[in-house]
Structure formats: C-alpha cells, structure tokens
Amino acid sequence: MNTSLRDDWFLLPFELRLQRASAKALAAAAILTADESAALLRALNAMETQWVGAPCPDSPAEDLHTWVEAKLIEAAGEAGRKIHTARSRNDQVATLLRMFVIDAGERFGAKLGSLVALLARRAKDWADLPMPMMTHTQFAAPGSAGFWALRYAVALDRIAEAAAFHVSQWRRHCPLGAGAVAGSSIALDRAILARELGFEQPSLNALYDTSMRDECVEWLALAAQCALHLQSFAADIILFSQSPLRWTRYPAAFATGSSMMPNKLNPDAMELLRGEAAALPAAHHHAMLLLKGLPSGYNRDLQCIKPIVRDATAKTLYLCELLQAFVGSLDFDATRLAASMQEGDIFATLRMEQLVREGVPLREAHHAVAARAQGGARPESGGATKLDPLAATTSYQTAGSASPDETRRVADELIRRHGAS
Amino acid sequence: MNTSLRDDWFLLPFELRLQRASAKALAAAAILTADESAALLRALNAMETQWVGAPCPDSPAEDLHTWVEAKLIEAAGEAGRKIHTARSRNDQVATLLRMFVIDAGERFGAKLGSLVALLARRAKDWADLPMPMMTHTQFAAPGSAGFWALRYAVALDRIAEAAAFHVSQWRRHCPLGAGAVAGSSIALDRAILARELGFEQPSLNALYDTSMRDECVEWLALAAQCALHLQSFAADIILFSQSPLRWTRYPAAFATGSSMMPNKLNPDAMELLRGEAAALPAAHHHAMLLLKGLPSGYNRDLQCIKPIVRDATAKTLYLCELLQAFVGSLDFDATRLAASMQEGDIFATLRMEQLVREGVPLREAHHAVAARAQGGARPESGGATKLDPLAATTSYQTAGSASPDETRRVADELIRRHGAS
Amino acid sequence: MNTSLRDDWFLLPFELRLQRASAKALAAAAILTADESAALLRALNAMETQWVGAPCPDSPAEDLHTWVEAKLIEAAGEAGRKIHTARSRNDQVATLLRMFVIDAGERFGAKLGSLVALLARRAKDWADLPMPMMTHTQFAAPGSAGFWALRYAVALDRIAEAAAFHVSQWRRHCPLGAGAVAGSSIALDRAILARELGFEQPSLNALYDTSMRDECVEWLALAAQCALHLQSFAADIILFSQSPLRWTRYPAAFATGSSMMPNKLNPDAMELLRGEAAALPAAHHHAMLLLKGLPSGYNRDLQCIKPIVRDATAKTLYLCELLQAFVGSLDFDATRLAASMQEGDIFATLRMEQLVREGVPLREAHHAVAARAQGGARPESGGATKLDPLAATTSYQTAGSASPDETRRVADELIRRHGAS
Amino acid sequence: MNTSLRDDWFLLPFELRLQRASAKALAAAAILTADESAALLRALNAMETQWVGAPCPDSPAEDLHTWVEAKLIEAAGEAGRKIHTARSRNDQVATLLRMFVIDAGERFGAKLGSLVALLARRAKDWADLPMPMMTHTQFAAPGSAGFWALRYAVALDRIAEAAAFHVSQWRRHCPLGAGAVAGSSIALDRAILARELGFEQPSLNALYDTSMRDECVEWLALAAQCALHLQSFAADIILFSQSPLRWTRYPAAFATGSSMMPNKLNPDAMELLRGEAAALPAAHHHAMLLLKGLPSGYNRDLQCIKPIVRDATAKTLYLCELLQAFVGSLDFDATRLAASMQEGDIFATLRMEQLVREGVPLREAHHAVAARAQGGARPESGGATKLDPLAATTSYQTAGSASPDETRRVADELIRRHGAS
C-alpha cells in the first residue's frame, strides 16, 4: 500500500518535464555544472522515448519520483544525486497534478468546442423540424429539433468558458520549489521553474501549495457540471426514442438487442452515457470526503486523489467523444414528430397570446383558453385555430425563442466562436 | 406540498425588481399604457416597503409569483391582469435564482476580501513568531504563525477571484422572457428586461434557461470549496489548541466548558466551524442528486433547489463572519511555541541544505543527516548545529517560503488587492 | 453558534424520559433521597404538560440539557443540583439521539406496513388490467398494473424488515451512564437506566458510545434506500402520465396548472416526490462528510448531526404519507392501456417461447422471431399469433411472474403480513 | 462502450454456478434431455478449471453471458442453444450481483470477526496501560489503551451483526427466472434454481428483481459505515503518533521517510487507511446518483454499478486486512503515556465525583473543582489529590467504563463470540 508507482504512472510525461525544469534551475543556481545539467537533460530525453506510453514497469520503487531519480542516478551519476535539491516530493506532486489538470482542462475545452460547433450545426439542420417541447415531461409548446439541440450547445459553451477561466487560474502559480512545507534555504530561482513549466510565476505560500488540491477539486466540479448536461441529453434521447414516440432514428451502432425479447432494440449507449456520467459528480464528492478533516501540511491521504482525478479525466473526455459521435449520427423521424405535434394541445399558449395581441389581458386570455382546453374541446380538430407546426414556431417573436431564425442566429454565433476547433 | 409561498419568500426582493422590469418592458411594447405601468410601479414600491423583511404571510397562494400578482391586481386592477404577459413562472423563477446567486456571490466576494485582508494583516503580525510546520501531522520544519495564517489568505484570495469570474458569467444572460420553454409570440424587447435587472443581454435559448440551474450548482461548488479551507483552518486550530501543544491563546468567547469535566475548556466554535462547513459540499451533492435524471424543460423537482441554495448561502456567509471574528481574537503563546520548536528535530532539513551549500550532493546529505537523526543523536542538544528558531526561518531563500520577509511581501500584495474591502 | 437550544428542542420528549430514568437510578444508588426523587419526577411531569409540543422558548441556556436542569433546580432545589450526577451531556445526547431514532424507525416501520398493505390491495385490484412493462424505457412485454404496483409493495416490505432489524439493534445497548468518555466512579446501576428507557442492557464501551452516531447513519442509509424506491415510483407515474401515454387518471388534487400554458395539467406532486426524495441520500452523504476525519471521543461537530436527522426523519415520514394518499387516489385508463398493448410488438417473447414449447431451441427461436420483427412484420396484424392482452399475462407460468394469479398470491402474502398495520 | 466482458469478468465464478443451476432446472422441466444437461455440466466444469482466476480473454463477445453461452454452444452444441431458455440477461445479472454480494458479505463478516477478536485480545493486553482519553481532541479523563482498543472491537462487532442480517436477507429470494421483466410462459421450477444457488426461495416480483440493485446499495452502505470506524482508528493513531505525544511505537513497516526532511518517519499507512476509506462512502454516493431518476424495469445504466461494487468490495476487504496486520504490530510507549497522564488536569472529574460521594451535590462539586482548575491550581502537583493513573482507572464503577476489569469483561464476551473466527 505504501508504494504508488502504478498509481503515479499516468503522471510520467509531466514528471519528465518537471525534472528538466529542475535541471535548468539548478544549473542557473550553480548547484549543477553545465555538464551535469546537460547529462540530465539527455537522460530525460532518453527516458521520454523509452517510457512515455509504455506500461508501468515492475519495480520496488516507492513511487514515480524515486523511480525517475534512480534512473537519473543510473544514467548521470552524481548529477542524479543532486536533482532533488531544494525540492520535496510534496511540491513535486502538487506541481504534477496541477500540470495534469491544466492539460486535462485544455483537452476538455477543445472537445467542448467541437461539441458546441457540431451541436450548433445540427441546430441549424433541424431549425425547421417542428418538435413538441416538454415541461414536466408533458408536451407543452411547439419548438424544433434544432432549438432542442441548441440547448446543449449553449450549455456546453458556458462550460467551455468556465474551463478557460480555470486553466488560466491554474497557470498563474507554479508550486515547484515550495519544498516539503516551507520552501528552501538554497537560493533557487523559482521563476525559472515556473517559466519552464508554462506558469506565470512562482506560487505565494509553500504551506498552501502542499496542503490542498484546489485545482483537482475545481476540475472535478467542472466535470460534474458537464456531466449534468450530458446525462440530460441522454435522458432526452431515451425519452424521444421510447415506444410511443419513436421521434429519433436511433443510430443502430449505439443500440443493443435483448437476449430474451426479440422485439427490442435498446438505446444502450445513451443509458450508458447517463449512467457513466454519474461517476463525475461522484468523483467530486469522493474528493471532498477525502480532503475533509485534514489539517494543513502534506498528508499522505492526498495520494488517494490521483486515481480519482485520472479516472474522472479519462471518463470526461471519453463521454465527450461518445456524445460527439452520437450527435453526428443522430437523426429524427419527421413524420412521427409531425404526428406528435397534434397531441397535447400544444398550440394553446400561442392561441392565448393571439387573444392578448387582440387586447385581452393575459390573465383573462389564460382563463378563456384553459376553460376550452379543460372542457375537452381539442381546438386543433376545430378548424379556425388549427396551426401549421412550422408556422407556429415562426410566430415566436422573442430573442432566444424557438423561432427558426433565432435558432439559426444563435447557432451561427456559437459556430463563429468554436467553428475552428 | 404543491404550495411553495413559504419556501419562495426569501426571493421577494428579487421578485419585486423583476416585476418592475416587466412593467417597463410591457409598457415599451404597448401592452401596458403609461398609466398602467405607473400604477404597477407604485404598487410595487408600496409592497417593497410593506413586505421586504417581513415574515411570510399566511396565504392560500400557490407560490410567491401568484401571491404578488394577486396583490398587483388588487392594487392596479386590469394592469395587474396583464403583468404576466409573455412570461411564465418558469423563466421567472430561473431569473430570480440567478439574481439571488449574483447577490450571494457578490456578498461572498466582499466577505472573502475582508477575510483575506485580515488574515494578511495577522500574517504580518506573526511573521516573526516561529512555529513548527507539520506534514503528516508531525513536526516537520521551522515556519511562523504568520506563514501559517498566510496559507489561508492565499487560499481565500483564489476563491474570491473565482467568485468574481462566476458573478460576471451569471450577469451575462438574463433568462426573463424565455417563457415556459420556447419564448413568446408577443414581441417583447428582452433587452429592456436584461438591462433593468443588471444583465448584459437576453439569454440565448429558452429551453436551456428553464431546464437547469447551472448558476446554483456553480455557486454551491464554490461554497463547497471555500468550506474545505474553512474546515482545514478549524482543524489546524483544534490541533494547535490540544492539551500537549496549547499554542493558541484560544479566545474564551469561542469556547465552552464541560458538564462533567471541570478541567475542560473546549474549542467548540472551531469544531462547529469544521462541522457546519460539511453542509456546503453536502448541499452541492444534494443539488446534483436532485438534478440527475431530469429531462429537458422545466420539471417541478427544480422547486426543491430553493431551500438548498437559500440555506447554503446563509451558512456560507455566516461561517465567513465567524472566521472573521475568530481571526480577529486569535492569539498565540510564544513561550509554548518556542518550546515546541525544540521538538521533532525540525532543523534537520536546514542542516541537510547546509551540507548541500557546502557541495555535498543532496542525496548524500540526506543520508548523512537521516543516519544521525535515526541514530538518536538529537543534534539540537549537540551545540554546533543548534539554530535559533527565528534565524532558522530567516535562512529560507526561496519565493513563497516561510521567511519572514517573504511572508510580509506576499501579505502586502494581498492587502493591496483587498485592503479597501 | 455555541448555543443549541433551538436545534435541540425536538429532543425534549426524550430528554424528559431520560431525566426520569436518571432520577430513579440515582435514588436506587442513594444519591437522591426518595423525596428528592419524587420531587424531580413531579417537576418532570409538570414540564411534560407545559412544554412538550410547545414552541422553543427564548432562553440564554446553552442547550436543552442545561435548560431542563435549570428548570429542575428551580422546581426541586438541591435535588436538581444532583440530577446530573454520574453522567455527562456526551452520553445524554448520545442516548437522546438513539431514542429519537428508535422512535423514528418504529414510526417508519408502521408507515411502510400501511403502504405495503395498500399497494398489495391495489395490486389485486389491478391484477387483470394489462399494461406494457418497460425495459430501457421501451415497451418490452405484457404485464399488468397490479404486477407493477406489487413491485413497490415488495420493495417496501424488504425495507420494513430492515427497519425492524435496526430498531432491535438500536434497542440493544443504552448509552446513558457512559459519562463524558470513560464512565463514572460513582456506582450507578446502569441496568436501571437501560430498563427505564426501554433498552436491553447498558452499552459496552463508553468511548464508543460518545464518539460516533452509528444509529443516525444507519437510519439515514435506510431512509436513503427507501427514497430510491419512492423516486422510482414517482418517475414511473410521470412517465405513465405523459402526453402520448396518459395511462393514469392522474388525481387532480396532486396536479398543478401552468401560468403560461392553459393546456397543461402537470404531475407536480410526483415531481416533488422525486425531487424531495433526493434529500434523503443527501442527508446520509452529509452525515458521512460530517463524521469523516473525527478522532475518538466526543467532538462538538456531532452537534451538527441533529438537524440532519430531525429534518430527514420528518421528510421520510411525510413522503411515505404523501405516497399513501396518492396510491389511494390513483387510477388507470383501461382504454389507453389497451391501446398501448398493441405498440412495440410486446408479445414477441411469448411467441418465441411458444416456439420453444414446440421444441425449437431458444437461440433459434429468438433468431426466428427477431428476424420477423426487424423485417417490419408486425405479427399482431397478421392474425394467427395475435394475442389477447389478458390472455398474454395469464400465459406466464413462473413464480413471481406477471400472471394475475401470481400477483394475487404474492399480494395476499404481503397483506397477511402487514394487513393489520 | 456497449461491450462489457472486461467489467463483467469478476462475476465469472458466479456465472458458472448459475449456468449449472439453469441446466438442472431445464432438465427437470424436460427442456433439456439428461444427456444435454450432463454435457453442459461437463462443459461448465471444464470452463471452471480453465477460466476461473485467469485474465479476461480478448473476445468480441458483448458481455460475459454471451461469451459463456458461445463457449457452451461450442462444447455442447444444441444444448448450448437451449441454456438461455426462460431467462434473460436481466435476471441473470441481478442474480450474479446478489451472489457476489452474499459472498462479499460473508467474507467481510469473517474478516470483521477476526478483527473484533484481535482488538479484544489487544484490549486485554492493554487494559492496565493508562492513557488519557480525549474529548474535543483535548485530554479529558483517565482511561487505558485497552479501553481505547475496545471501542473499535465494539463498533466492528455491531457491523458484523448487521452484515449477518443483510446476508440472511439477501439469501431469502433468488431472482433467477424473473426473465427480462415479467417472468416466462415456460413452466420452469424456480425453486430448483433457488435451491441450487443457495437461496431460500424464488423472488416475489420479476419487475422488482430486474429494476433495482438493493443488495448492492445495502452492501455499500455497510461498507461505508465500517469505513467511518476504520478512518477514525487511523485518525486516532495519527494523533497518538504525532511529535509531542509519540504514544505509539509506530510499526516501521507501516511508515515512510521524507525525501526532503531526514528527520521524518511518517504514519503513511494510517493516512492511507484514512484516505482510502473515503472511497467507501463515495461508492455508496456514486450508486445513489447512478440509480436516481431511473424508471422501473432494467435500464442499461445498471451496468455501471458493477465496477463500483467490485472495487468497493476489494477495497473494504483489503482495508480490513491492513487494519488486522497493523493492530497485530502496534505497541505503545508506556513511559510517554505516563508522562501524558500528568497533563491537562485529567483527574478533575474523579476529584469532583469524590466530593459527590462525600455528599456534595454534583453541580456544587463541579463549580468547586472548576474554580480551582481555572484558578491555575494544578492539583496533581499539590499532593493530597494526586492520583496514581492506574488507580484512577480502577476507581471507575460503572458498566462499560474504562475500569480495567470492565474492559476485560467486555473483551472476553467479544472473544467468546468471535474467537473461533
């Protein structure tokens, strides 16, 4: 249990970059000679070639840091025995996790950008395809499949913006050089370390750096929030695909049959998306439980956040890819959608607003239309007020409404922002 | 259960502002005459005077929105019956929660600012007061009480920055006018609504607005993260105050006696801070559970997020105030701190780094010092390497270290940023 | 913050019983004279009459225990100053919470018993009312509304059994007399305390008693599991009530209209049941977060579990009552159910099993039926294999199946067990 | 994503037992001939030998069930094509998870039994070793290391009892034969299936069986509660091992050094125990999130509970083993404990109770002793009231107190119950 090489292994690419930065800063501080520094950099390049992407070796090493240091001593002798000067595994691992999370946040942002752009393009494709919008899981008002798809583009665009903020905040301060808890009496220039690793400046307080895992918690909170929208998308599709609606042409590559019921083709991929997404808020909860009750200063409990963050990151990126593939394949059955537009008296609000435009106060118009609806008169079968579904959506007049033009306007704005990604 | 006036009541101040904005936008759209609009604004002002701050009235009203509307009809007749035009309770409540959360985020940011400034001032007061820093709850290396206090100033400063980001994101888009799910066929200018309520622009997609509670989730995640640091502060103080250390002069106003043990004076306020702080990540978890599994479009489940957000907000602000009061009263026992500096061989790292400065490779210096330490030689009692605690802290050379100068430099930077708050 | 009278108030009835037990045990130990004991019992009876059910008084008392003790001193003088002998607030509050949870568990068990009996009766009412059963939210196979209702009777019956186990475990050991942390040097007979309070025996280890809140955690876990089934019931009803199915005659008393959409009647009570149920697993999470990281011995953090348990208990019992009322009012639309039985080719499994009964290996029969189904042949429109829905359900042959007889058999078994409750 | 062989693999031993039970029941129903059944049982035995314990093979099979069925068709031809008769993967996986959880619960119960017995033996070893007991993380009253160890024996004994209850409840009803959702029209005798798999009887409602995962949730809740005590044990040891106390002789095999601080030997195993234990409540939360919002009937989301349960089970059993090994190696430093007994005025309660025994009312005795304590008079240095630590613990008179005799009595009771395990 005390050894963690296997759990640390995913951090190897970041560890090698970190060691390079250390070699340069120690050379600048004259702890290493130019030759020693060069030898270390060569050894690190060789390790990069040999080990990054390779499976974790069997080794008695206590952790990734001691394994790398042993390799450096093997390759570069005395220089290897100096590489750990003015640092501790405490600031090392804090730095690695921040580097990992920055990388994760950037990859996440890029995937979200693609998703937003794709969803916005589908929103335009489907802007004129009428679909009943639901509230309370009941048919409520006319909308379009495009307006529905745009709901997710808008949600993920917001999350992409938050991801960009967090990445910029994580890049602010480099923990490396914080040492075990209080810094070092060796005059190492931490600005070199920060610059080499892509941070703006050295961190401000060594105790803070080594005590907590704010960037991990923030990243998990962001992933959890994204998961909320992913699972809502899945829940929508499952609902749209069920027996009596069958609005979707559910792509067969994302479905599975039944072993007992020959009649079934189930929306498994969306159920798995909804199910797997639960892992992301759970990972955030897990991290909170882990960190709760810890006093300041590094505690070994922090080791346990590594697999949480590693697995949640992999799952988040995978679920984004799954959604991307699914949205690319998804299509709708216009005939069945059209049939559904005649259910649930969904034009009632528009009829009520027609009365309002004719001067009836809203509250009276509401009563009038409600009285007819509850009296059982289904006005659509009546004639005069029968509305063409597409005409109904074009009658929306407000910004952000289900009007096809408005869907296209917003989609274009999002495509402009993310189209290149 | 279907009535929610009591649970909605905390939103009243925001509801009245929202109604004012509606009255103005409806007047601009000629749905209301100038007289009707003026009558409504007068009625809203009267309600503000009468009801804001008052306890929730007994009323059969289904919710806050219908209660206010009934009052407006009472006061302004026909105009009241028009006020709900082109909107729904769905966009109304989405807007109220966003307004509430913006207000909460701003108040939170102000409280954090004060806390950061106070902690930074205490950090300067205590920069020269040596204190053993711990890792693994073990004495590890020399630091100061100021360096310790600064750890929290730095943590809360980061959270204040995130709060500012979120508030600015929440202010971006105004949900009002999204209607029930798809907008309205009445040409209301949503830009007026947005401007009147302090938002930048109307929101982009009515389905998105009414389906989720992103701002609530984000606010709760932020509060949860703040809670992590609050409870860590409490855990530190409880540890520092325990029988064998007694580093703190624990302020009596924050302590309680024992009913059975006359010898006890317990750090109750810090235990309660640690305990109450657990409510904030729990509130975030609660919201995630609530929202999980919901399809798009307003679902009445969303009603249940109101007390979560209301209570978590009150608790967050209260815990910040408690910490502010506590930090203002806290003091340390310099004699007992000095005694502890002689425990745990905490100068070992500095001795090792002394060897490094003399040219010994780090890994050899580590072995040399470790061998002596584990051999039982407590070098502090030896003589040659005996270090004065304050001298030890001044020997730190790196940015962000426990050096008193560095503590003062960072504290000054934080005071500059938050001093006015 | 250090005062808790208001948060303790719900424990008053248990506190008074506890004080009575103390008076008797102290009399038996000759700490109190017979007169003193009698005076205390009189005072406690008077307090019971005056205060139980009354709102919490304004008082500067630190907590409920000191408030009661002050009242006893007021009423009974010297005897009151002896009542706290050989106990501490630490064992007192541990005992009160256990008493509260025993009471909650018993009330919960009774409510579950009523619910099981009612659901089983409805299962019998609806055993012959065919309804499509879903898997993957898709129509899957013939069943009945009774078979569906029975699913919840069976689930809640299991939970009632677990509740009974927990109550019996909670009754095992009485914490009172554990003192602050280690017992007392006064020879009080804890068996008297246990017996008076309805426990089997004194607890085994005073440190255990005062450190944790196992009964609270167990109760919250049980409530959380019950919540899973409650919210699943709600999710089912919401699904069954949606526009294209309208299987339920959704009782109007549990619905709400829309402010913007005159056509809507929404299943609000079920959405609120689903939403409110999320509070119960959240309460369990909250308790786990609160307790995590605490060392042995009473810590004031434990104070914070009181409102969690109080509110979760009230919510659990309330949601059971809501479900009881709802199930009593629920009815189905047989015509719409019959129409749905012709959707989704739900007789396919039965046709496949017909082939199996004729000797075709299952896997071949599956392929044969699946090939027809996916070829688009809807056999129901064919003729030969057309099945009457009720005949389909009576064809089930296995124990626990959707056969009406089997539904009645199991329902009767559950009614026998819970009918009296 | 739609294939799950790898995630299912841990269920293989249970799957093979299940297939055997199916073969027997199908033979009894004359769906299989005696020869076919024998051929299947031979094939299953061969698979047991070849595959149980082996790594998961590379295979395009959709899941474990189809992989096993394909193997059976390969080995036994026609008979293999009949094995899936009157069942579905839905009831199959429900049965496998219940079998797995029964097995986990039994292994857990056995490990808890060993732990309780070991802790009780250590409690007897240390019954006469005085140790200050803490409340509020402050020295509070005299106790012993044995009394402290007994706190965990008592806690785990309760959990063992709950585990036994749950296992007996899980064994009650066998889901196999519930089919996809509603049973089967083939007259299979489910009592044979139940008996062969070690259950009492067939389950009562096929929809219930295939909809939920109660046994998983119950098992995770139990593991979570155990985790609370494991982490509290770890928190205690970390506290006892810290620099100023050093009460433990912390076993070196469970410690780690520091890379920067040669003076450090850290209680890593206990920090990891505390940290890893957080995974168990997190797993429960994860399962609740996963299940929330699902309607009745199998949903593919349920697939995602498998790795949660598998990993939580492995972790729970591992942490129990870690604790077993640790408790076996743990020892205390009697000298340092004795020194601590003179800190914090921990005899004050006993002095107060001495006054009570002399007739002073408790509340007056409390004031008298508190006044002296807060006046700074440390009575231990006074003389008259100085107490020998061991004598102090023997002065306890109540059941369950820290008296050495009482510790031995309770320990013996627990050893009698669990000694053979």
Q: Say whether C141 and D180 touch across the interface (CB within 8 A).
A: yes
Residue B396's φ and ψ, nearest 5 degrees, are -65, 140
**pLDDT score for A383:** 41
From the list A59, A84, A88, A136, the catalytic residue is A136
Whether the per-residue pLDDT at A377 is higher than 70: the answer is: no
Q: What ranges make up the beta strands (E) of B79-223?
A: 130-135, 138-144, 173-174, 201-202
**For every residue of D352-395, which 3-state class applies, written as one string?**
HHHHHHCCCCHHHHHHHHHHHHHCCCCHHHCCCCCCCHHHHHHC
The stretches in chain B having pLDDT less than 50 are: 377-385
Report d(CA D387, CA D403) in Å as an integer: 15
How many Å apart are CA D374 and CA D388, to the nearest integer?
A: 22
The Cα C26–Cα B222 span in angstroms is 52
Query: Mean per-residue pLDDT for C397-413?
Result: 98
Rg (CA), chain B: 28
Facing B267 at nearest CB: one of D136, D260, D374 = D136
The model's pTM:
0.97
Mean pLDDT of A330-358: 93
| Calpha distance C256→C64 (Å, rounded) | 42
To the nearest whole angstrom, how far is the Cα of A87 from the nearest Cα of chain D? 7
User: Confidence band (pLDDT; 50, 70, 90) for A189?
Assistant: very high
D144 is annotated as an active-site residue: no
Out of A161, A298, A402, name the one closest to residue B182 (CB). A402
Residue A225 has pLDDT above 60, yes or no: yes
| Terminal-to-terminal C-alpha distance of chain A | 42
Tell me which H or E stretch contains B283.
helix B279-291
In angstroms, rounded to a whole number, what is the distance separating the alpha carbons of residues D359 and C31?
Answer: 8
Region A288-311 average pLDDT: 97
Alpha-carbon gap, residue A130 to A144, rounded angstroms: 4
- Per-residue tokens: D194: 């139940």
Q: What are phi and psi of A161, to 5 degrees?
A: -65, -40
Q: How many contiguous H segments (helices) and E segments (strands) does chain D have?
A: 18, 8
Question: What pLDDT does D268 receive?
Answer: 93
Which site among D172, D204, D364 would you substitute to test the C interface, given the most C Cβ atoms closer than 10 Å to its Cβ? D204
Give the bridge partners for B130, in sequence order: B144
Residues of A in contact with D269 (CB under 8 A): 1-2
Could you tell me what percent of chain C has a pLDDT over 90?
88
Q: In this structure, are residues B157 and B418 in contact, taking their beta carbons and an 8 Å threshold?
A: yes
D281 contacts in A (CB within 8 Å)? 289
Which pLDDT score is estimated for B371?
85
Report residue B307 as tokens.
């007390």
Q: Best mutation site among A40, A74, A147, A151 for testing chain B: the one with the most B CBs within 10 Å? A: A151
| Whole-number pLDDT of residue C171 | 98
DSSP state letter for B62: S
Using CB atoms, pick whichever of C259, C271, C290 lies closest to residue B84.
Answer: C259
pLDDT of residue D303: 97
The encoded tokens of residue C415 equal: 């009614």
**Closest Cα in chain C to A370:** C262
Judged by CB atoms closer than 8 Å, whether chains meet at A344 and C263 is answered as yes
Q: How far apart are CA A112 and CA A166, in angstroms?
A: 15
Q: Are B147 and A182 in contact (CB under 8 A)?
A: yes
The number of C-beta contacts closer than 8 angstroms across B and D is: 139
pLDDT tens figures, A64-120: 999 999 999 999 999 999 999 999 999 999 999 999 999 999 999 999 999 999 999
Tell me the HSE value of A133 on the side-chain side, using a 13 A CA sphere: 35
Packing angle of the helix pair C305-329, C89-125 (nearest 10 deg)? 10
Q: Which of B168, B258, B296, B329 is catalytic?
A: B258
Nearest beta carbon to residue D244 from set B265, B294, B343: B343
pLDDT at A375: 61
Cβ atoms D348, D373 nearer than 8 A: yes
- How many whole angstroms separate alpha carbon A21 and alpha carbon A25? 6
Question: What's the token pair of residue C122?
Answer: 């409805």
* Strand, coil or helix: B8: helix
> Which chains are adjacent to chain D, needing at least 3 Cβ pairs under 8 Å?
A, B, C
Q: What ipTM was reported for this prediction?
A: 0.96
Pick from D26, D40, D77, D82: nearest CA to C362: D82
**How far does Cα C146 stand from its chain's mean position?**
22
What pLDDT, in 10s, does the model give residues C123-171?
999 999 999 999 999 999 999 999 999 999 999 999 999 999 999 999 9
Long-range contacts of A117-120 (CB under 8 A, 24+ apart): A117/A414, A117/A415, A117/A418, A117/A419, A117/A421, A118/A324, A118/A327, A118/A328, A119/A149, A119/A150, A119/A152, A119/A153, A119/A156, A119/A327, A119/A414, A120/A149, A120/A150, A120/A153, A120/A410, A120/A411, A120/A412, A120/A414, A120/A415, A120/A418
Q: Are A134 and C242 inside 8 Å of each other by CB?
A: yes
Q: What is the DSSP string of B77-105?
A: THHHHHTTTT--HHHHHHHHHHHHHHHHH
Q: Which amino acid is located at C179 in the chain? A: G
Between CA B161 and CA B164, with CA B163 as vertex, the angle to 5 degrees is 65
Q: Which chains pack against B, by 3+ Cβ pairs within 8 A?
A: A, C, D
Six token digits for residue D316: 């729970």
Q: Is the separation of the CB atoms in C292 and D278 below 8 Å?
A: yes
Q: Which among C163, C75, C56 is positioned nearest to C115, based on CA atoms? A: C163
Which of C73, C137, C181 lies at the smallest CB-CB distance from D135?
Answer: C181
- φ, ψ of residue D172 to 5 degrees: the values are -60, -55
3-state secondary structure chain C: CCCCHHHHHHHHHHHHHHHHHHHHHHHHCCCCCHHHHHHHHHHHHHHHHHHCCCCCCCCCCCCHHHHHHHHHHHHHCHHHHHCCCCCCHHHHHHHHHHHHHHHHHHHHHHHHHHHHHHHHHHHHHCCCCEEEEEECCEEEEEEEHHHHHHHHHHHHHHHHHHHHHHHHHHCCEECCCCCCCCCCCCCCCHHHHHHHCCCCEECCCHHHHHHCCHHHHHHHHHHHHHHHHHHHHHHHHHHHHCCCCCCEECCHHHCEECCCCCCCEECHHHHHHHHHHCHHHHHHHHHHHHHCCCCCCCCHHHHHHHHHHHHHHHHHHHHHHHHHHHHHHCEECHHHHHHHCCCCCCCHHHHHHHHHHCCCCHHHHHHHHHHHHHCCCCHHHCCCCCCCHHHHHHCCCCCCCCCHHHHHHHHHHHHHHHCCC
Q: What's the CA gap between B295 and B300, in Å, rounded? A: 12
Q: What is the mean pLDDT of residues A300-305?
A: 97
Q: Show the low-confidence residues of chain D (pLDDT under 50).
A: 377-385
Are residues A140 and B181, on separate chains, in Cβ contact within 8 Å?
yes
Q: What is the dihedral of CA C73, C74, C76, C79, to 10 degrees?
A: 10
pLDDT (0 to 100) of residue B243: 83
The whole-chain average pLDDT of chain A stands at 94
Top-confidence residue, C31 or C2: C31
pLDDT reported for residue B377? 47
CB contact at 8 A, D16 and D44: yes
Q: Which residues of D touch B293 (CB under 8 A)?
A: 292-294
A304 and D84 within 8 Å at the Cβ level: the answer is no
In the block, residue with structure tokens 């939210």: C137
Mean pLDDT over residues A3-29, rounded?
97
- The residue of chain A nearest to residue B237, with distances taken between CA atoms, is A295
Residue among C162, C231, C398 whose CB faces D183 most closely: C398
Q: What is the 3-state secondary structure (H, E, C) of A271-291?
A: HHHHHHHCHHHHHHHHHHHHH
Q: What average pLDDT is seen over chain C?
A: 94
Q: Residue D285 and residue A290: Cβ atoms within 8 Å?
A: no
Tell me the β-bridge partners of C248: C332
Above pLDDT 70, what percent of chain C?
95
Q: Is A88 a catalytic residue?
A: no
Residue pair D94/D175 in contact (Cβ under 8 Å)? The answer is: yes
Element (H, E) at D265: strand D265-266
* Per-chain mean pLDDT for chain B: 94
Kindly list the residues from chain C whose CB atom is less than 8 angstroms away from the CB atom of residue B83: none
The DSSP code for A380 is G
* Residues in chain B closer than 8 A to A192 (CB atoms): none
With the C-alpha atoms ordered C235, C236, C237, C242, is the resulting torsion angle positive or negative? positive
User: How far is D321 from chain B, CA to nearest CA, in Å?
Assistant: 23
Cα separation, D87 vs D185, in Å, equals 11
CB < 8 Å to C235, chain B: 293
pLDDT band at C374 (very low <50, low <70, confident <90, very high): low
Query: Crossing angle for the helix pair B12-28 and B34-51, nearest 10 degrees?
Result: 170
